Amino acid sequence: MAEILHNTLKAERERLDLTQAALAERVGVSRKTINTVENGVFIPSTILALKLAAALDRPVEALFRLDGPGVSLKQDT
């Protein structure tokens, strides 16, 4: 089983009452790119993920979450 990248991009975009086109303009990509990221078809680059987080005023970790076997984001104490 592979890791899966989940995102809350659509919910965060809607929280700010932004269209896909408006968010796309803010980060310099096409509306289709925003759509494919929201639907999990396209995994954004680190740069795009950081731009999206900045545009939505949220930390990257609030927008993207990695799930799957062997994935543990908890720190060892």
Reply yes or no on whether the pLDDT at 77 is more than 50. Answer: no
What pLDDT does 2 receive? 77
Query: Cβ atoms within 10 A of the Cβ of 15, count?
Result: 12
Q: What is the pLDDT of residues 22-54, one digit of tens each?
A: 999 999 999 999 999 999 999 999 999 999 999
Residue appearing with tokens 């303009």: 25
Average pLDDT for 43-71 = 92
Query: Cβ atoms within 10 A of the Cβ of 60, count?
Result: 13
Contact, 1 vs 71, CB < 8 A?
Answer: no
What pLDDT does 67 receive? 83
